[in-house]
Structure 1
Amino acid sequence: MNAPFKQAERLGRLTTVLGPDALVLLRFDGTDYMNELFEYRVEALAPSGDVDFDQLVGTHASVEIEGRTGPRVFDGIVTRTRWAGVGENGHRYDLVLRPWLWLAGRRKNQKIFHNKTVVQIVEQVLGEYASLGDPALEVKLGETYPVLEYTVQFRESDLDFVRRQLERHGISFHFRYSAGNHTMVLTDDVMSHESIGERPYKSYDGHHQAEGEHFWDWSPERNLTTGAIRLIDYNFKSPSAAMEVDRLGDAAYAMGQLESYEYPGDYLDQEGGRVLAKVRMKQERGQDRRNRATGDCVALGAGKVFSLTGDPAPGVGENYLCLKADYSFVSEAYGSGGPGSDGYAFTGNYLVMPETAPMTPMKRTPSPVVEGPQTAVVVGDGEIDCDSFGRILVRFHWDLEGAKSMRCRVAQNWAGNGLGGVVIPRIGMEVVVDFIDGSPDKPIVTGCVVNGTNGNIYGLPDSKTKSGFKTKTHEGSGFNELSFEDANGAEKIFMHAQKDMEEYIKDNQSTFVEGGNRSITVQTGDETKGVLSGNLTETIALTRASQANKIVESAVAGKGGPGVIAYNADNVITMSAVDLINAESKDKIDIAALNKMTQKSKAIDIEGGESIKLTVGNGKIEMTQSSIVISFGNTRISFDAETLDQVAAMIHLNKDG
């Protein structure tokens, strides 16, 4: 494009990607900020109306203005342009320049950051815009910032996320300009800011001509601010630890100690709370001292420091940091009159603060709020991955990078010191995640849900009357289960132990079967009953049947009393065996019947090691190893191996009848 306009000798010049003098500067105004995004409006002139907007939008454009102390460059990305009509000397165009950081506000994102400092997080997020500056970001911080375990960008633009992190930690930013470039500078101390030297105050007297840049209006002001900060938070790892912190400001005016109490304070321990309370106090008190000025200081922009000199005024001799600058520049006209025909005008309105005042940015960017629970998938190593608090890792459905969450606590049905319940969600399960205070940085798992892969364990709706709890053997195929069937007429409780089952009862246990049967089956192995102190009593209304290859019963004397086994029945006790019934005692066996005792067999053998004695009333038969004695009253027959004795009042031998 051949341009009839030339800017080289003019006080204001515009440079774009369209080439030298394709667009020339007519008017420039806008605002430069600390901790905000600048916006510059440019009115330009072109010889034709065919400017290619596609070439212009999204590229750098620079304005250079000659000040009394040298040139000053303003640079930005062209974010809007329009044809504004045809003027006397050509086609007019309006351009809006904004920082490359403005583009970060055009893109929302959701990301998780693990174990990074705020500086590392900001560098990572803004690193994707690095090609827009040379460099795009410069870090000039004096403080050391802690490693953050878990930080989430949630449904917020890159710009809002970065500003929220910087504000939280008290880090300021401004922009430094050069031709075709601007750099975002991070600072946390006024000493890191560039000084432009002295600038005088010359009071307004109807004109403001001076040999150099100066101010002609200067207005100090004070603002009542919050004067004290109190914070409190909670850390589940140390629930009884002191967490409250406070910080008192330096305001000396009435109501200067007005306290703001905030929860949660967003820290993990009291020391971290003190650091944040200090930042919050600086944010509040930093709004107190302000000075408003008007002048033609082209070199003064947001983030620059100067020393005030000149006419007597409050604050002369002190150093100030510029927080905001509104610029207005009108170039010489392009026309038959030539350069300078319409004169030159640059005006700046400035907001500054003493360099001794806190320069910490206000906490303005709202934190995102998760409005309700979400679901996520449990991830980790192996089948079960938890820490000593039962915390698990999850992956949210919105996380495109597949990052893991922080360790999330799992809500249990009960939790106390030495009591409660524990159920750890396993890898692959879909869980419900809620967020404490609605903060995406504070997830907590509240339950599990079924899905197309993890279906209901009993199959629905066919088993809709069945409830239960079923686990799975870790690194195996078995399971434990407790289920309840509530179908009318088929009610049932089922319990399955994959290996062992133990019950421990401190006092009493009772089982009552109202109707039906009770069975115990030991398929392989033994069954052992032990009553270590006390009695075992069984009451059977009809018949007790025991069947075994061998039945062994024993009673052992101990602290509970003598070792006794007692059988008692109102009617009959029956014992039978196909081969042998054996009753044996190391001392005595007593058998007694009040009415009748019957023994029946083809052969009956009775053996006594020393003696056998039979007694019926006055009649006796006594057998010993040496003799046999039969007696009734005073009548007796005794014999041994050699002798037969008979004693009676009368003896009949061979008597008939």
Structure 2
Amino acid sequence: MTNPLQTHRAARVKTALPDDTLVLAAMDGFEAISKPFALRLTLLGKRRDLEAKALLGTRMSVSLDTGSRVRQFNGVVASFTIAEDSWGDEGHALCRYEAIVRPTLWLLTRGAHCRFFHARTALEIVAAVLGEYGVEWRNACVARYPTLEHCAQYDETDFDFVSRLLEREGIYYFFEHVDGKDRLVLADAPSALAHDGAIDFTQSFVDGRPLHEAIYRWRYTEELASDTVELTAFDFRNAKGSAQQQSLVVRAADGTAAHRLRMAEYAPHYATQEEGRRLAQARIDALQASAVFASGAATARSIRPGGLFALTGHPRAGQNGDYLVVQARYRVRVGDYSPQRHVEPASTLQREQTTRCEPVFDCSFRALPKRRPFRPPRITPRPHAGLQTALVVAASGDEMSTERHGCVKVQFHWEQFDPPAESERMRRCWVRVAQGWAGRNWGMVFMPRAGQEVVIAFIDGDPDRPLVIGSLYNSANPPPYALPAHEAISAIRTASLSGDGERNELRFDDQKPQLLLYAGGRADSYVKRSALAWVGEDAHAIVEGRQLVKVGSHDFTIDGGQRVKVGASASLSAGVDVLHEARVNYAVKGEIVHVKGGASVVLEAGAMLTLKCGGSFVTLTPAGVQISGPLVGLNSGGAAGSAPGASAEMPDAPKKADDGSGAT
């Protein structure tokens, strides 16, 4: 037996194999807006040596005559099954195969990535992903979409990632089947939809079938749906404005006043009121799109999701009008391929009678009135990211990199780069850093540095909203103290950015116990009012250089003794009086002792006053004056001795402590 032929069949299949190697026996398919279609083909062929690998991943097309044109169903063979031999006479049995054909877009379900896109619109991101799979597509969108500073694909297939982006933006898609290709069309407005003409409604049947291509079953349904969407958002870069602005509320144009069904959502993905209003409108359109719909069955071969048709001839005049097909289920039966059918017909009439032996097309469908804007429902879940760790990155050669809000950039361990050189660039989002305390120009600030491993949380589990909440030690960044030997130590230790190995440190040792304050450079203490200190035992201070102190007044009480050693000169200058009092002895010793009074010098003793030099002396007592010396002269010439004058050096003024205002 030769292979059966499709030449004059109303429905034909074209595969990667030679023509008529496989012929189409039946097709059952499902197609819907914003969903990948699936066509289940039943194929027949004489060859028994076909292997699935010969067709898997290749293109397959079904052509269906519609009278005025040929309608195509094109896609990729996603599954191929060797079924069983069809019944037939010995030598005439055909092998039966089954193929599932899906759009090129379906290939995105077989790939998954963890990566980021920066500074691109949603359409630009979708275009980049589609390009990786060679998906042919056409942009029929009319709206302008904002640039997304940061968009994460995390632990999800490329299809799910693209789907949720489109659903969030209110962009839907359908397929154009032309030239053996399945072209994806992205749309957001009715202007992208083509009108496929009028289809009659009929209830005239012969043998249970309409007399001509028509819609023969029609149901029209209206349902309650949410008619109000309320969106709220918070933008930390405009915190005051976000706190003051009211929620965005958008109502459906034809919502039922008696049933205000509000859908309140937190939508963090918009920064302006205009953008929020666009998202809210897309959301209410999606909720309302399914509230009014028609369902039916037809033999009209022009019905296709993404196409418009005009219903005519319905007994209820209000039902007639334009509709958008949103989904359809196809049923195609080609007919018998028994040997007697392969005799070439003698005439066109005979050809029609012998090859179109039964109806070849039937479908059930769902459609929306054209007047209602269509938006895809949000059915693709957003991936949920749990706690993770990442490494802080900075520009080449820098240890720290931040911006005005204290954000840093991080590299996740799962991050993918294409090309790899992208990892050397700073095209990453800024990630907020949680501090232990944060207020208006007050709080704590500890900025992560390049190479640190930090703990990342995601607000509401959203991969687009990472947050640094802590840091971790690892083998590359060990703790500052050997553990467990120093497990009793708690500390804050920093590292100098100069690379000299210096540090600043505040350490608590609960083993001794001890408090250590270490400054690798300058230490400033600025007390605006009082500073009090109490030391239970000794207080020691070593100043290798100079100590400069300035006080308003100085009261100093020493309960015990005092010993002061000055290695060089000591100067004391008083603006008014200098008073010294000793309860027992008061001794002054020096190579030269010079006492000078500008007006007078008074030396007074209660019992005795003595001036002594060598063997000579003068002694004054209450009883009298005694003068003794080898020679005592009065008015005998000579001169008074002299000594250097007393001129105290003024101290250097100390520097003022930093009050920290320079960092604000």
Q: TM-score, structure 2 length as denominator?
A: 0.85
* Alignment of 1:537 onto 2:556: yes
The answer on whether the counterparts of 1:40 and 1:96 sit within 8 Å (CA) in structure 2 is: yes
Residue aligning to 1:436? 459
**Percent same amino acid at aligned positions?**
27
Residue type of the alignment partner of 2:18:
G
* Alignment of 1:451 onto 2:467: no
Residue type of the alignment partner of 1:408:
V
Tell me the matched-pair count: 603
- Deviation digits for residues 450-490 of structure 1 (CA, Å, limit 9, x no counterpart): 111111112222222222222222233143322435254x3
> Which one has a larger percent helix, Structure 1 or Structure 2?
2
Residue aligning to 2:117? 113
**Deviation for aligned residue 1:31:** 0.9
The answer on whether the counterparts of 1:108 and 1:157 sit within 8 Å (CA) in structure 2 is: yes
Residue type of the alignment partner of 2:188:
D
5 Å matches for 1:187-206?
187-205=187-205
The answer on whether the counterparts of 1:481 and 1:494 sit within 8 Å (CA) in structure 2 is: no
User: 2: CA distance between counterparts of 1:212 and 1:506?
Assistant: 97
Q: 1:177 to 1:341 in 2, by over 3 A?
A: closer
Q: 1:9 to 1:95 in 2, by over 3 A?
A: same
- Deviation digits for residues 411-447 of structure 1 (CA, Å, limit 9, x no counterpart): 1111111211111111111111111111111111111
Q: 1:267 to 1:595 in 2, by over 3 A?
A: farther
Residue aligning to 2:147? 147
User: 2: CA distance between counterparts of 1:238 and 1:603?
Assistant: 94
Superposition CA RMSD, Å: 2.8
User: 1: CA distance between counterparts of 2:383 and 2:615?
Assistant: 101
The answer on whether the counterparts of 1:234 and 1:243 sit within 8 Å (CA) in structure 2 is: no
Residue aligning to 2:430? 407
Of the candidates 321, 324, 328, which is equivalent to residue 321 of structure 1?
A: 324
Residue aligning to 2:289? 286
5 Å matches for 1:123-162?
123-130=127-134, 133=135, 136-162=136-162
5 Å matches for 1:111-260?
111-130=115-134, 133=135, 136-205=136-205, 213-241=213-241, 242=245, 244-253=247-256, 255-260=258-263
Residue type of the alignment partner of 2:291:
D
Of stretches 163-172 and 46-55 in structure 1, the one that deviates more from structure 2 is 46-55
Of stretches 258-267 and 340-349 in structure 1, the one that deviates more from structure 2 is 340-349
Of stretches 446-455 and 194-203 in structure 1, the one that deviates more from structure 2 is 194-203
Residue type of the alignment partner of 2:124:
Q
Residue aligning to 1:9? 8
Of the candidates 335, 338, 347, which is equivalent to residue 362 of structure 2?
A: 347
The answer on whether the counterparts of 1:163 and 1:365 sit within 8 Å (CA) in structure 2 is: yes
* Alignment of 1:394 onto 2:410: yes
SS in structure 2 at match of 1:305: strand
Q: Which of 1 and 2 has higher RCO (CA within 8 Å, sep 6+)?
A: 2
5 Å matches for 1:507-526?
507-515=529-537, 517-524=538-545, 526=546
- Deviation digits for residues 73-115 of structure 1 (CA, Å, limit 9, x no counterpart): 1012111111221112401111111111111112221110111
SS in structure 1 at match of 2:477: coil
The answer on whether the counterparts of 1:308 and 1:315 sit within 8 Å (CA) in structure 2 is: no
Residue type of the alignment partner of 1:374:
Q
* Alignment of 1:377 onto 2:377: no
Q: TM-score, structure 1 length as denominator?
A: 0.86
Residue type of the alignment partner of 1:145:
Y
User: 2: CA distance between counterparts of 1:586 and 1:318?
Assistant: 121
**Deviation for aligned residue 1:394:** 0.4
Of stretches 498-507 and 212-221 in structure 1, the one that deviates more from structure 2 is 212-221
Q: 1:529 to 1:575 in 2, by over 3 A?
A: farther
Q: 1:336 to 1:278 in 2, by over 3 A?
A: same
Q: 1:13 to 1:543 in 2, by over 3 A?
A: same
Of stretches 537-546 and 404-413 in structure 1, the one that deviates more from structure 2 is 537-546
Residue aligning to 1:98? 102
The answer on whether the counterparts of 2:307 and 2:324 sit within 8 Å (CA) in structure 1 is: yes
**Deviation for aligned residue 1:38:** 0.6
Residue type of the alignment partner of 1:551:
A
Of the candidates 302, 306, 309, which is equivalent to residue 309 of structure 2?
A: 306
Q: 1:294 to 1:417 in 2, by over 3 A?
A: same
Unaligned runs of 5+ in 2: 342-353, 418-422, 627-632, 638-664
Of the candidates 515, 520, 524, which is equivalent to residue 502 of structure 1?
A: 524
- Deviation digits for residues 130-165 of structure 1 (CA, Å, limit 9, x no counterpart): 1xx5xx121111000000111100101000000000
**Deviation for aligned residue 1:272:** 2.4
Q: 1:367 to 1:641 in 2, by over 3 A?
A: same
Residue aligning to 1:366? 381
Q: 1:530 to 1:601 in 2, by over 3 A?
A: farther
Residue aligning to 1:528? 548
* Alignment of 1:491 onto 2:513: yes
User: 2: CA distance between counterparts of 1:604 and 1:337?
Assistant: 163
The answer on whether the counterparts of 1:235 and 1:269 sit within 8 Å (CA) in structure 2 is: no
Of stretches 210-219 and 229-238 in structure 1, the one that deviates more from structure 2 is 210-219
Residue aligning to 2:570? 551
* Alignment of 1:34 onto 2:67: no
User: 2: CA distance between counterparts of 1:586 and 1:413?
Assistant: 65
Unaligned runs of 5+ in 1: 557-562, 607-613, 622-637, 643-657
The answer on whether the counterparts of 1:3 and 1:22 sit within 8 Å (CA) in structure 2 is: no
The answer on whether the counterparts of 1:60 and 1:77 sit within 8 Å (CA) in structure 2 is: yes
Moved over 6 A (4+): 208-211, 603-606, 618-621, 638-642
Residue aligning to 2:350? none
Residue aligning to 1:628? none
SS in structure 2 at match of 1:37: strand
SS in structure 1 at match of 2:197: strand
**Larger C-alpha radius of gyration, 1 or 2?**
1
User: 1: CA distance between counterparts of 2:563 and 2:355?
Assistant: 126
- Deviation digits for residues 590-639 of structure 1 (CA, Å, limit 9, x no counterpart): 66555666666548999xxxxxxx98669799xxxxxxxxxxxxxxxx98
**Deviation for aligned residue 1:177:** 0.7
User: 1: CA distance between counterparts of 2:588 and 2:249?
Assistant: 88
Q: 1:313 to 1:324 in 2, by over 3 A?
A: same
**Deviation for aligned residue 1:287:** 1.5
User: 2: CA distance between counterparts of 1:187 and 1:451?
Assistant: 50
User: 2: CA distance between counterparts of 1:546 and 1:243?
Assistant: 73
Q: 1:581 to 1:189 in 2, by over 3 A?
A: farther
The answer on whether the counterparts of 2:608 and 2:622 sit within 8 Å (CA) in structure 1 is: no
The answer on whether the counterparts of 1:217 and 1:294 sit within 8 Å (CA) in structure 2 is: yes
User: 1: CA distance between counterparts of 2:601 and 2:155?
Assistant: 91
